[in-house]
Amino acid sequence: MPHPMPPLAIRAYTATSALGRGLHAHADAIAHSRGGLSPNDFSVAPLACWVGRVAGIEDEPLPAALADWDCRNNRLAWIALQQDGFADAVRAARERYGASRVAVLLGTSTASIGATEDGYRRLDHGQMPADLHRPVLHTPHSLAGFVAAAFDLEGPCLTVATACSSSAKVFANAERMIRLGLIDAAVVGGTDTLCDSVLFGFNALELVSPEPCRPFDARRNGISIGEAAGFAILERPVDGDDAPLLIGYGEASDAHHMSTPHPEGLGAELALSDALARAGLQPRDVDYINLHGTASQKNDEVEAALVARTFPASTRASSTKGFTGHTLGAAGILEAVISLLAIRDGTVPGNLGADVPDPLCGPQMAWHGESADIRIALSNSFGFGGNNACLAFARAGAVA
């Protein structure tokens, strides 16, 4: 078992998804149980399904100085970075610590592959068309490279691409680097945007629902794909700090199957116990869990059983995929932000989309929105390849 970790301050955080741009849009949608899914109108031959699409990306190219990086994924990242004063907070961290002491650690599953797909649809004599002759876009590192360049940061710069756990795991990368003194602050988070690879890919695996997704519903029939970007700045807390805290994280592997979770949720359970151990917590200490809850048959079955057998009824739990869709590599940071809002606002998001609870679910499930004092929250993120992550957050002063 790992040792407890020194908590880290979350100096700034933000998210943009189908619920809107920035924290207020997310808090408001959650408070009113207003989801953001809409019929799929993405791509040249839209599949009959629902998506969590961010409005307006097509009309907002990157500033001229960053034009080489322009693509849907980096545009969404840029839009998100402009919300809630986040870009200013990054610049302040750079000013305070120096460009080489601030890391950029970002998760994504497909980065700007949408631009590569676009190039293949418009090949010029078998080659990438001239306007997409930009090698920085055609690589998984496009997002992290873009953010580091946009803020002129020269610390460690890492892309984590472990499918749907990507932007949860970056919190762990940051904690290790800060604890060992390699850096003083980290910009963590991630971005994934709608693209044909994931829409047709999940469709080929028969995991996409033709309706808005229904996490933990007995009749659920698959996921709804969404897009999102979110970011946070992590640094050491100062005396009297009132920032929310990262208090733990866990990472583990299923060692079972590339696209199906372990039937008993072994990796998920190991990630959870790892996170609780680093946070120095018992299950009864946890007030809220933002579940991975994709509305796929297997994920929800395994996760419902894990929560039901581990936590008391006083721990509240819900999936917010019914609000945003499954934002894949961005799900970790988006749901971390939603967990931080639950702590800030005292709101337990309702498990939007489910009408008939799966009987595997325990009394922990918050089927509708609730008000509660949330001092400690967990966020689960599980990915293809059996890659599991769990994050633990606390309100300032909630843990000794």
Partner 1 sequence: MSAALTVWVRGIGLWAPGAPDWHAFRDIVADGAAPGEPGRPVADVLPANERRRAPESVLLAAAAAGQAVAMSGLAAADLPCVFASAHGDQVITDYMCQTLATAPAELSPTKFHNSVHNAPAGYWTIATHCHASSSAVSGGEYAFGAGLLEAATLAVADERDVLLASYDIAGTGPLGAMTSTTGPFAMALVLSPSAEGAAVRLDITPESGNSDTGALGDAWLDAIAASNPSAHAIPLMRALALTRSTALRVAAARGLDLHVDIAVAG
Which residues are catalytically annotated?
A: 164, 292, 326
What span, in angstroms and rounded, lies between the C-alpha atoms of 381 and 164? 6
Q: Which is nearest to 18 in space by CA: 368, 321, 278?
A: 321
Tell how strand 376-383 and strand 387-394 pair up.
Answer: antiparallel
Tokens at residue 271, please? 């990630």
208 binds partner 1 (CB under 8 A): no
Among 102, 234, 266, 286, binds partner 1 (CB under 8 A): 266
2 binds partner 1 (CB under 8 A): yes
Among 78, 151, 202, 288, binds partner 1 (CB under 8 A): 202
Site for partner 1 in 360-389 (CB under 8 A): 383-387
Number of residues that bind partner 1 (CB under 8 A): 74
Q: Smallest gap, in angstroms, from Cβ of residue 44 to partner 1?
A: 8
Tell how strand 316-319 and strand 288-291 pair up.
Answer: parallel
Q: Smallest gap, in angstroms, from Cβ of residue 20 to partner 1?
A: 29
Q: Smallest gap, in angstroms, from Cβ of residue 30 to partner 1?
A: 30
197 binds partner 1 (CB under 8 A): yes
290 binds partner 1 (CB under 8 A): no
Q: Smallest gap, in angstroms, from Cβ of residue 45 to partner 1?
A: 6
Site for partner 1 in 133-172 (CB under 8 A): 133-136, 138-141, 144-145, 148-149, 154-163, 169, 172
Choices 51-59, 203-211, 308-316, 344-352; region in contact with partner 1 by CB under 8 A = 203-211
Among 24, 34, 91, 179, binds partner 1 (CB under 8 A): 179
Q: Smallest gap, in angstroms, from Cβ of residue 19 to partner 1?
A: 26
181 binds partner 1 (CB under 8 A): yes
What span, in angstroms and rounded, lies between the C-alpha atoms of 41 and 43? 7
